Amino acid sequence: MAKGIRKLDAVVARLLGPKGCPWDREQTHKSLIPFLREESAELADALAGGRWHEIEDELGDILFHVLFLARLGKKRFDLDTVAESQAKKLMRRHPHVFGRTRTFKTSKEVLANWKAIKAGERALRAKEVAVRNKRKR
């Protein structure tokens, strides 16, 4: 990780640690939803207004939430597995960039392909969940 991300991750670890902040330690994935929505809206507003100084600050707030949520989910995933999963997803959804299909000439073609790939992924996940649920019975 880059120096700044490592530093922010260390701050998050300390906030959540035994001698950290009581409020932060009480948080859950669900309790953070309103704050994440608020920060996302603030970022969207800054982007819409082209206010670069605010965009940087709001991106930092979003990054904090990503690190915080990843640490809260440490028994199921961590920041590295989140990043690895996202990289794989982006590569799957951009076969025209990563060499597995033809090149598209327009954004419209790319978007149509993206939607088709995403629909296929959803169908596969639904099938996997159905199989898991059937095994549990």
Chain-centroid distance, C-alpha 90: 12
Residue 27 is predicted with a pLDDT of 96
Q: State the helix-helix crossing angle for 79-93 and 107-136, rounded to 10 degrees.
A: 130
* Fold of the domain built from segment(s) 1-77: Helix Hairpins (1.10.287)
What is the tens place of the pLDDT at every residue in 42-62? Answer: 999 999 999 999 999 999 999
pTM of this prediction? 0.79
Helix (H, G, I), strand (E, B) or coil at 128: helix
What contacts 24+ positions apart, CB below 8 Å, involve 84-91?
Answer: none
Q: Where are the domains of the chain?
A: 1-77, 94-137
Residue 48 is predicted with a pLDDT of 98
